[in-house]
Chains A and B, each alone.
Chain A
């Protein structure tokens, strides 16, 4: 088994013996210098993993661990810039009494409970279709459905701000072909929410569909054959084989979509600016306004932590409910 590679390795190795250190170190120039001097001492099997992991640890410490800790500290203070006073839980108390926070949370929750099931349901249907051997031109459909998930949020945002225009938007025009009256998508509180949901659904359904398609293709064929021998119909097969087999990937998409929707910012920012009448103000948008419009870092951090708490609680709940039962 190891014969082929061991025969090949010395040949390539000899040819590139002098060059090896240079290309491998290209991304981490500082360490290569040291490594080349003391390669024998430094690059033992014991030290290598620590060197490999070093950039990730450094980056993690600076741009993840420190900000997460610092943000918590900031949330316990009030004041501007460097003149901060420790005020304990004052920001969190303020948050509980802040009607706009509750509005933002309600909007976010509303969008979440409508959008995530709608999108994942559609994605599953699309995946089932794409997985069927009876369908023609499958690669084409797969490509088209996936392509919208690659679009940036801003590009999608500006595109839909015109498509959803009341008087001249593409959507109202298409609807008018079916005799539907013009809808004031971005101008009325209810329809603005619907509009945001539509745009997010347009944006991410294909991505989830491709994930499900991967899951479907991983289901062992024998399971279906055995079920057919036992006389199970298509509906029965779907519920007793397909869904349970897809459970890990369903869980993954539910958790990821929930996290994404709870942090919703870009679409409302570009489409509605949070309006009309704060109907599409989300928690992250409110956080952004407080932090980077009013520069109230303490309160914005408290909002961020409140949101993180909600996200993790929901995540844990979902894993509990849907996770592998042992």
Chain B
């Protein structure tokens, strides 16, 4: 019995190493001089070139500007998508209205349609509106997330109706019920949704790659990818950009692990 536990622990530690090892290497490589990135054997201890690489990134992609762009886009997308999802999820979960089931099915059915189907018309729409190469062009299409609405509907459905009715009987208006009861009661799952949306926004790549034209509008993933495509690529810088893209995500996860997992599970297990 004890042997089996040890064996399983060793296997899981191996899986852990396979998952986390590359991150360790990435963190170390980002502190090396460019020529040492491709040294054999690989450098597995910190090098002394972190500041130099940061400075290089600032010159090549305008790191601070790019980071601010990414934060702005991901942040606004998060606020917008969470508001839309909570409102719609509440309507789906607790109200009866005409067209409810039809709209819900339509919404969910878009999950099986590849996003690429929508790229070209949205691109043309943004061109016609003169929004190409703007923050709006990146943020707007991400505001309606079928996944977010679905998650909120599932979560709010499990809220007892008596709770809402009691407030209504006491004369609370619908807005007050939403603001004073629905949102506070469901704060953890709303936080989980916010995290997921923020992550999606922070990491999104294909659409910003198409929608953004000028380097000073680039988000971090787009800037990193273009940097890598250059002939004179400084790999230490590229890897540092990759590390910078990954770090906030891991920090968020470490701090808010519970919300992450509970959000994931809420979406997966409730029928």
- CB within 8 Å of B: which residues of A? 1-2, 5-6, 9-10, 12-13, 16, 20-21, 23-28, 35, 39, 43, 45-46, 48-50, 52-53, 55-57, 59-60, 62-68, 70-71, 74, 126, 129-130, 132, 134-138, 140-141, 143-148, 150-163, 165, 167-170, 173, 202, 205-207, 210-211, 214-215, 218, 248-249, 252, 259, 262-263, 265-266, 269-270, 284, 287-288, 291-292, 297, 300-301, 304-305, 307-308, 311-312, 315
Contacts and interface: CB of A to CB of B under 8 A. Distances in A.
A259 B108 CA distance: 14
- Specify the main secondary structure of chain B where it touches its partner: helix
Contacts of B97: 46, 49-50, 53
B130 interface: no
Given A155-B245, A159-B239, 19 more contacts: A1-B162, A5-B167, A13-B171, A48-B174, A50-B97, A67-B118, A67-B119, A71-B118, A153-B203, A155-B224, A159-B23, A162-B29, A168-B42, A205-B19, A207-B264, A210-B265, A288-B116, A301-B120, A308-B112
Given A50-B97, A305-B117, A56 B16 contact: no
B19 A144 contact: yes
Contact of B245 (A152, A205, A207): A152
Contacts of A146: 253, 260-261
Given A74-B120, A135-B12, A155 B88 contact: no
A52 B92 CA distance: 9
Given A12-B180, A154-B203, A158-B224, A49 B91 contact: yes
B15 A141 contact: yes
A248 B246 CA distance: 32
Contacts of A284: 114, 116
B83 A28 contact: yes
Interface in B169-209: 169-176, 178-181, 199, 202-203, 205-206
B238 A70 contact: no
Nearest to A206: B19
B268 A252 contact: yes
B80 interface: yes
8 contacts: A13-B171, A66-B125, A126-B15, A144-B20, A155-B245, A159-B239, A162-B239, A288-B116
A300 B119 CA distance: 10
Interface in B139-193: 140-141, 143-144, 146, 149, 160, 162-163, 165-167, 169-176, 178-181
B269 A16 contact: no
Nearest to B206: A265
Given A63-B144, A134-B5, A135-B9, A173 B176 contact: no
Contacts of B1: 134
Contacts of A160: 22
A231 B117 CA distance: 53
Instruction: Across the A-B interface, give the 5 residue pairs with the lowest CB-CB distance, nearest first.
Output: A152-B203, A27-B83, A134-B5, A59-B144, A49-B95
Contact of B114 (A6, A26, A167, A262): A262
B62 interface: no
B179 A24 contact: yes
A249 B270 CA distance: 10
A310 B64 CA distance: 42
B42 A173 contact: yes
Contacts of A64: 107, 110, 118, 144, 146
Contact of A56 (B21, B38, B87, B260): B87
Contacts of B202: 152
A170 B42 contact: yes
B135 interface: no
Given A16-B180, A154-B245, A288-B206, A67 B117 contact: yes
B250 interface: yes
B16 to A, nearest CB: 4
Contacts of B22: 148, 159-160, 163, 170, 202
A1 B91 CA distance: 24
Given A129-B8, A154-B225, A147 B42 contact: no
A240 to B, nearest CB: 21
B242 A56 contact: no
A287 B146 CA distance: 24
A74 B121 contact: yes
A154 B163 CA distance: 45
Q: Which of B23, B141, B144, B239 has the most CB of A within 10 A?
A: B144
Given A49-B95, A56-B87, A211-B264, A154 B175 contact: no
Contacts of A297: 120, 124
B8 to A, nearest CB: 5
B105 interface: no
B88 A55 contact: yes
A202 B219 CA distance: 24
Nearest to B144: A59
A274 B267 CA distance: 34
Contacts of A71: 117-118, 120-121
Contacts of B115: 263
A170 B160 CA distance: 54
Contacts of A20: 173, 175-176, 179-180
A301 B121 CA distance: 9
Contact of B178 (A24, A74, A152, A288): A24
Given A43-B174, A168-B40, A252-B268, A66 B88 contact: no
Between B22, B117, B220, the greatest number of chain A beta carbons within 10 A of the residue's beta carbon is seen for B117
